[in-house]
Structure 1
Amino acid sequence: MSRPTATADLAERLWQAVADGDEHAAADVVHQALADGTDEETLLLGVVAPVQERIGVEWAADRITVAQEHAATAINERVTASLAHARQRDGRGSPPHRGRVTVSCVDGEWHAFPARLVAEILSLRGWRVDFLGAQTPTPHLVAHLHHTNPEAVLLSGSLPTHLPKAHAAITACQAVGVPVLTGGRAFGPDGRYARALGADRWAADALGAVAVLEEGMTRPDPSASRHAVDDLPHLADQEYTMVVRSRPQLVKQTLVELDARFPAMRGYSDAQRERTAEDIAHVVDFLSTALYVDDPDLFTTFVTWTADILEARRVPAHSLATGLEILAGELRDFPRSVHLVKLGVAALHDRSTRPVPGPGTHA
């Protein structure tokens, strides 16, 4: 059996254990593979990571529930931790010798597993890693940097709606002289949002982050402080701020109008109405983020992905188009917002049957 085939077989076995909710079987898969000679980095990147990706895909296709997705992720996290604990117990790997780095998620970001994998790979490569986990408030992150003075901060984000907070974290870290390496789907498939927000570097994956750190990162000048509008001049029109402040009213009014224009809603249960309100809120959040980075693709990609999710849950996608048309009316005083919403409606009308890649969003 070739190595790629062996890795794929391990990933399939791990997936079956994770999908069954069997933590012990999942741990047995990876620890037996380790005993049989598969190195830990291959297990993390070639087995555990693909299984985590599959968890998100299965949720999006409505083949597993939110609870099952959470349980599967928790098992994957514990399996990863067990590998790290076994490494320390058995004395495998080299002691830290490359320097100290901090790995953290953006404030509000609950999807910490990708960052955890990066932290483990860096540890294997000889870095001393402070892993701060999910949704670290920026003031706490900066306080940690003052205490540890690391070579760099690796800032992870999966949801684009956290980009404004990521921007604040980037500038705050740089203001204390620590360079920022960003990663995760939130920053765009090619790191476009990382560049827009002034991050020092971006990496597509864990091995890319290793390469950037080994190349070395230049410390920023702490005296070169800047504001969000310095990186994103379009924010001067205040439209982003106004839409964010109007979010509760926008969600409420859109839901009221949708109830009047979409008769099927009259038979919705309280739980279904609550999920509809949450969907509208997500639309407003992605709209405001697209305003923040001035990128229509961020919004239209989310809209078409949402249509796929709704149809997987047997909700007609045209209800989303109706909701967007209502939202455009509520936003009539905000020209950039109206333009983005109209682009979203057009994207829905042009949507093909081919699955649309998601923006990194899952429960």
Structure 2
Amino acid sequence: MSDSGITDAARAGFDACLADADEEAAVELATGLVASGVSAEDVLLQLVAPAQVRVGKRWESGEWSVAQEHAATHVSRRTVDGIASAAREIARSRAGAGSRGQVLVACSDGEWHILPADILTEVLRLRGFDVRSLGGSVSPHGILSDVHQNGPDVVAVSCTLPWNLPLAYRQIEICRWAGVPVITGGTGFGPGGTWAYTLGADMYAADARGAAETLLRGWPPVLRGESSVQADAVEAYAMLVRQRPGLLEHLTSALRDVCPNLGGRPGPEHGSGTGTGGTGHEEGTGFLGRLLDSLAAAVFVDDERVFTGHLAFVRTYFSARSADSRWLLVMVDALADRLSESPRALDKLSAARRFLVEGDGSHRPG
């Protein structure tokens, strides 16, 4: 048993509930822990959150299908709701203490991994904050509207996918224009939140507990971040966005010519229904578009790790399914051919080529 009171048996039991998509049993197990005296925060952060990480790993490794991953994620979200409800019942006797402050929680624009934001919302509530949550893929306008109507003390932005960084930048900027500090969290902001600070965020926290403690230590939050995104990086990013349709056509054609056997294989799209781009335009553009989005985001924040990190994930995904991933190098070279007049894009593509060639010789086209 850990210091939190959550046993290995409880963790194994919860994993089994997710595997079976057994919502009732999962909620019963988690709320039973809360009723027995385990803190709701510990149940959220040491039972549900790590289990969801394992769900993602099972999908990435090919052990689970997209449908299994979605079903398990649904159970996790319902479990978070159940834990929150149980915690509120226990805390009724402490009513009247007053709010520590108001926090608005939102996922970055384009971000549909909502569970981390849900967990953050409940942890902050447990710590005494008044929290409003706007859910997944919130537009800058949506955030600004809520800021104007409700006047939060701080906005918390969650991002798990680095290719959404340019969209998160717009959210952070609009909060700064409104004079509201921003705390960020999620793997999409890079190691140690490095890209959050590039975008001008005021704070970064690795997890929900860290976010709560950061806010408690520094309340009230203040504007102190400063964007280091360069004007020519924004221009290069905008060029990639404008050229996206033509680049997708070029990539689809290049992939079909070199690796026709890839047609119809499912790509790592988390249930989007897209493929790796051999047979159908719609199949190919969905997945190949993620390569372009990752390259564009790398150009935007001027860090090749955004792009090479995505390539590493894709390579792992295909390796786990015994699929040929030579096409990754083909795609990088095809993009370099079309983007010869964009020094920033070429810089990131050169780094990607080195990553693919030096990391694994099997990625050389043959």
**TM-score of the two chains, using structure 2 as the length reference:** 0.88
Contact 1:98 1:126 (C-alpha < 8 Å) held by counterparts: yes
Contact 2:154 2:221 (C-alpha < 8 Å) held by counterparts: no
| 1:242 aligned residue | 239
Deviations 1:45-67 (A, max 9, x none): 11011011111111110111111
| 2:253 aligned residue | 256
| 1:106 aligned residue | 108
Paired amino acid for 1:214: L
Residue 78 in structure 1 maps to residue 78 in structure 2: yes
Residue 184 in structure 1 maps to residue 186 in structure 2: yes
> Which moves more between the two structures, 31-40 or 278-287?
31-40
Q: Would you say how many aligned residue pairs link Structure 1 and Structure 2?
A: 347
| 1:19 aligned residue | 19
Contact 1:258 1:326 (C-alpha < 8 Å) held by counterparts: no
CA distance in 1: counterparts of 2:264 and 2:121, whole angstroms? 48
Paired amino acid for 1:345: R
CA distance in 2: counterparts of 1:184 and 1:267, whole angstroms? 32
Shift of 1:17: 0.6
| 2:120 aligned residue | 118
Shift of 1:166: 1.0
Paired amino acid for 1:156: S
1:137–1:236 Cα change, 3 Å: closer
Shift of 1:93: 7.2
1:231 aligned counterpart, secondary structure: coil
Contact 2:6 2:38 (C-alpha < 8 Å) held by counterparts: no
2:257 aligned counterpart, secondary structure: helix
1:267–1:157 Cα change, 3 Å: closer
Residue 314 in structure 1 maps to residue 311 in structure 2: no
1:191 aligned counterpart, secondary structure: helix
Residue 206 in structure 1 maps to residue 208 in structure 2: yes
Shift of 1:6: 3.8
Q: Point out where structure 1 has 5 or more consecutive residues left out of the alignment.
A: 354-363
Deviations 1:67-124 (A, max 9, x none): 1111111110001101212233444574442111111111111011101111111111
Shift of 1:319: 1.9
CA distance in 1: counterparts of 2:263 and 2:180, whole angstroms? 54
CA distance in 2: counterparts of 1:184 and 1:262, whole angstroms? 35
CA distance in 1: counterparts of 2:48 and 2:197, whole angstroms? 29
- Which one of 324, 341, 346 corresponds to residue 333 of structure 1? 341
Shift of 1:136: 1.3
- Which one of 211, 220, 228 corresponds to residue 231 of structure 1? 228
1:93–1:117 Cα change, 3 Å: farther
2:191 aligned counterpart, secondary structure: coil
1:242–1:37 Cα change, 3 Å: same
Contact 2:104 2:133 (C-alpha < 8 Å) held by counterparts: yes
1:61–1:266 Cα change, 3 Å: closer
Contact 1:18 1:75 (C-alpha < 8 Å) held by counterparts: yes
Paired amino acid for 1:64: W
1:220–1:271 Cα change, 3 Å: closer
Shift of 1:250: 0.6
1:265–1:188 Cα change, 3 Å: closer
Paired amino acid for 2:160: S
1:300–1:266 Cα change, 3 Å: closer
CA distance in 2: counterparts of 1:93 and 1:259, whole angstroms? 65
Matched-pair identity in %: 33
| RMSD after superposition | 2.4
1:141–1:267 Cα change, 3 Å: closer
1:334–1:33 Cα change, 3 Å: same
| 2:50 aligned residue | 50
CA distance in 2: counterparts of 1:220 and 1:335, whole angstroms? 33
| 2:163 aligned residue | 161
Q: Point out where structure 2 has 5 or more consecutive residues left out of the alignment.
A: 267-273, 362-366
